[in-house]
Amino acid sequence: MDTRLLRAFVVLAETANYHTAASQLYVTQPALTKQIKQLERQLAITLFERGRHGAQLTENGHKLLPFAQQVLSQTNQLLNRASELSSQFPKSIYVGFGISVFQEASFFVARLREHLPKTTIYFDDMPSNIMSQKLANHQLQVAFLRRPETPFSTHFAVYPLKKETLSLAISTSQLTHQSIKQLLMTHPYLSLRKERGSGLSQQIEQFLEQQKISLIPAQEASDIQTIIALVGAGAGVSLVPYSARHISRHDVTFIPIENIASATWDIDVVWSSSLPASWQDIIRALLKETLHHFNRHANPK
């Protein structure tokens, strides 16, 4: 069976959205639809119910999904093991990242391409909990993600990258000398959907609870870029990672929430410790270069 079709099945099942899945798979939506229909014909089973809300797994689709994930995991393990035995670099590497490390992850991938010019590098934005799952299933080789409450097992190498903090995003035209709490209470609150960023949502809930602030979102969105665009348009304020300022516009101001433990978290880079030593040496060297680059620019002499 063509594992390309199984990967299309798994990614669409995880995202429940044809546009998002097609983007992660680097194919067009019509091509993804064709792949799903081809797999359904081969299996003689309907895998998805299609509607206004995207693609929802059928009962049979739910039953087959774990088997598809297992096949892909075993296939990736086989390919990685073959690369190890042949001492060759892989034909493809999957790197995941979150918005908090967009700059660092982009710099790392650019340098990785220079070191591995014959390797296809897939670079995808996804929530940290999805990255953890994909690491466990060998669907990701490198992940820039929020440090989980339960540490990774010894099967993974962990490289501490940086600390991140929450910030208030507000339209520059609406900025006043009020406190962050006052600004949150006097403007409509815009929120990222929980399913798109469960870790960030939990961080925000902890901060709001500690500060005794109760907010009901006036509007929700599926990505931080949309949230920032709405803030810039004056639709309200939001709490986002301070690093989101790097993808922002001039009409949005970001105020970091400093010296509050519930507003900060750690970002790590994680990869499988079973990867060949030569690969891991490159990863560590490039991460060291990445940290040096951004620390130098953050603290110029």
pLDDT, tens digit, for every residue of 140-182?
889 999 998 888 888 899 999 999 999 999 999 999 999 999 9
88 has a pLDDT exceeding 70: no
Quick one: what percent of the chain has pLDDT higher than 90?
Answer: 50
**pTM for this entry:** 0.70
72 has a pLDDT exceeding 90: no
Cβ atoms of residues 164 and 263 within 8 Å = no
